[in-house]
Amino acid sequence: MLTGLDHEEDDKGTVWNKEARERDRDRMSPRQAWRAIQAGMPEDVIISSDIGNNCAIGNAYPTFEKGRKYLAPGLFGPCGYGFPSILGAKIGCPNTPVIGFAGDGAFGISMNEMSSCARKEWPAITMVIFRNYQWGAEKRNSILWFDDNFVGTELDPELSFAKVANACGSKGISVKTMEETTKAIKQSCEDQKKGITTFIEVILNQELGEPFRRDAMKKPVRVAGINKSDMTPQKTNN
Amino acid sequence: MTKMTTEEAFIKVLQIHGIENAFGIIGSAFMPISDLFPKAGITFWDVAHETNGGLIADGYTRATGKMSMVVAQNGPGITGLVTPIKTAYWNHTPLLLVTPQAANKTMGQGGFQEVEQMNLFKDMVCYQEEVRDPSRMAEVLNRVIEKAIRGSAPAQINIPRDYWTQVIDIELPPIVRLERQAGGVEAINKAAKLLSEAKFPVILSGAGVVIGGAIEDCKKLAEKLDAPVCSGYQHNDSFPGSHPLAAGPLGYNGSKAAMELISKADVVLALGTRLNPFSTLPGYGIDYWPKNASIIQVDMNSDRIGLTKKSNSRNLWRCKISFTATFK
Ligand SMILES: Cc1ncc(C[n+]2csc(CCOP(=O)(O)OP(=O)(O)O)c2C)c(N)n1
Ligand SMILES: [Mg+2]
């Protein structure tokens, strides 16, 4: 059902996804990345996921033959679940290939664990970071209900998670095509057997899928109006 | 009665329950026990942040079915555990939360690393208890572990840190493991009748099917009823994906096929699911929840039966049964 789908739709009156495709023509869409990832996943793999648009787009893709294989963040919905939970899975199942997934924002919340997990006592994992340079899931809400007013949705475009990974003593790579992605997933799972942890930064276009909470959102109206000139400076003792 | 220290008592109970892994950042408040970890066969996974430590523990248990413990320094170490403990709560993960507390001797004076740790986790765990006397260390720890298993959720033991390094004379408590309750006779008969008369029964399998080790049973039942199986939101691993009756996950970005199938059901057999809102909200503009179908809900926690979704009142039917006990 999903195999034919490549791109995310825009709601009537919005153009974000169309423009995102045109802006970065050479980059993969989230769905293309997911298909490339699936093509490289070993049998018997345990995967984790995170709260975020790219992870959520993938929610319907993975199927499993056994239980205890899919660790999604669940109903509390914390960003920053994908990386630590997959570390725990590997600690419990050291001989099973594992792949963690997180968006670049959510990964940032948990990335301090890069500084602990490369030590030789810790088992090796693969961690995929969906790099779209934005807190995408929330950004989709700004597009749909807040007229593209992007407050707090942009991430640092200069940051390289792959470089951070290398600096931590793990393997860090950055992939841009479907072919590279499939290859990197396969290689990293082989490398887990040799004790090598790989962080794969998957560079994506900025397309965004369905918002989480259509049910809970509505377009705000201005009633009293808000003016900058009403801002009152604080008094301090300095 | 045997003489031992409070930390020895603590470790011995961990050993009785086979708790082999602890996650946290080292701190003086629990050093008397971490000191014994290597001798006891317990690995201390020293993490970079407590919040990650708690989530690592959740991942460990969800992947293995085994319980682990999370521990941290009283105060700022413990406050870092709020997010992962509540996360584990809604993932139905049994987990031992060990919270060493500022010393009883000074508690309330606003001293170093002092915070109300029982209030902090009140809404995050299925059970919490503070050790009220050093001699009760083993008894309380044993109960807290049992409660986490029974409730399939985190449970907390709060320990005034001045209770360590005391000599006590105690008997180690016995393990009391309860078998999960099967449904009542009446409930099971009603369910059987509903299902045998159903024109289009659909099974909804949730986390409880994974946690309860009931995937095989669910498969057998689905084959017997020739009923398609939808999975709960984010529980794609609760039914074998290659099975011809597998329909895929419901909920946000889920499977359209699953949504269309369940919308046509006249009886929904909801196994190991609390029917959380994210598995039942409309998706792709399809309002798929079958409002007129009879719902048979199987959940280990009777408080969650009928909490979010009701069947038509004539057929409203409640039960509390365990997965394996029911299908065999
Ligand atoms: C701890 C926490 N903080 C904030 C949020 C709100 N939130 C939900 S999704 C999201 C954006 C996720 O962005 P990213 O991880 O980059 O993934 P993307 O949506 O871009 O794929 C945020 C901030 C949350 N769920 N959890
Ligand atoms: Mg992002």
DSSP for residue A154: B
Angle at B209 between CA B204 and CA B212, to 5 degrees: 160
Residues B200 and B244 in one domain: yes
Residues of B in contact with A1 (CB under 8 A): 255-257
pLDDT (tens digit per residue) in A7-63: 999 999 999 999 999 999 999 999 999 999 999 999 999 999 999 999 999 887 789
Q: What is the pLDDT of residue B176?
A: 86
- 8 Å CB contact between B150 and B122: no
Q: CA separation (Å) from B264 to B181, B199, B202, B311?
A: 31, 10, 9, 14
The residues lining ligand 1, judged by C-beta closer than 6 Å to any ligand atom, are A 51-54, 77-80, 103-106, 130, 132, 134-138
Domain that holds residue B16: 2-170
Tokens representing A131 are 């790099």
- Three-class SS state of A137: helix
Mean pLDDT of B142-154: 96
Provide, as residue numbers in chain B, all residues whose Cβ is less than 8 Å from the Cβ of A115.
Answer: 48
Residue with tokens 């963690």: A100
Domains: count for chain B: 2
Contact of A100 with A117, CB cutoff 8 Å: no
* Residue B328 covered by a domain: no
Identify whether residues B32 and B57 lie together within a single domain: yes
In angstroms, the separation between the Cα of residue A44 and the nearest Cα of chain B is 11
Please check whether residue B178 lies inside any domain of the structure: no
Pairing of strands B127-130, B69-71: unpaired
- Describe chain B by its helix, strand, coil percentages, rounded to 5: 40, 20, 45
Q: Average pLDDT of A128-154?
A: 97
Task: Judge if B125 and B240 occupy the same domain.
Answer: no
Task: Quote the CA–CA distance of B161 and A87 in Å, as a whole number.
Answer: 30
pLDDT digits (tens, 9 = 90+) for B47-89: 999 999 999 999 999 999 999 999 999 999 999 999 999 999 9
Determine, yes or no, domain membership for B292: yes
Chain segment B90-99, per-residue pLDDT in tens: 999 999 999 9
Same domain, B102 and B196: no
Q: Is the pLDDT of residue B316 over 50?
A: no
Query: Is B54 in the same domain as B85?
Result: yes
Amino acid A3: pLDDT: 55
Q: Give domain status of residue B179, yes or no.
A: no
CATH assignment of the domain containing B138:
3.40.50.970
Q: In Å, how far is B108's CA from the nearest CA of chain A?
A: 31
What CATH number should be reported for the domain holding residue B292?
A: 3.40.50.1220
Q: Which of A86-95, A213-222, B316-325 has the lowest mean pLDDT?
A: B316-325
Poorest-pLDDT segment among A167-181, B108-122, B151-165, B178-192: B178-192
Helix orientation angle between A82-92 and B50-64, rounded to the nearest 10 degrees: 50
Asked whether residue B212 is assigned to any structural domain, the reply reads yes
d(CA B183, CA B296): 11
Confidence of residue A4 (pLDDT cuts 50, 70, 90): low
C-alpha B111: how far from chain center: 34
Domain ranges of chain A: 2-231
Rounded-to-integer distance, Cα A159 and Cα B20, Å: 38
**Pairing state of beta strands B167-170 and B2-5?**
antiparallel
CA atoms within 13 A on the CB side of B92: 21
Query: Do both B27 and B135 map to the same domain?
Result: yes
The reported pLDDT for the residue numbered B328 is 31
B163 shares a domain with B204: no
Mapped onto helix, strand or coil, the DSSP state of residue B153 is coil
Residue B318 has, within 13 A of its CA and on its CB side, a CA count of 13
Is residue A115 helix, strand or coil? helix
DSSP string, B242-266: TSTTEEEE-STT--HHHHHHHHT-S
Q: Which two tokens stand for residue A149?
A: 């007013």
pLDDT tens-place string over residues B242-264:
999 999 999 888 999 999 999 99
Q: Cβ–Cβ of B237/A87 closer than 8 Å? A: no
CATH architecture of A2-231: 3-Layer(aba) Sandwich (3.40)
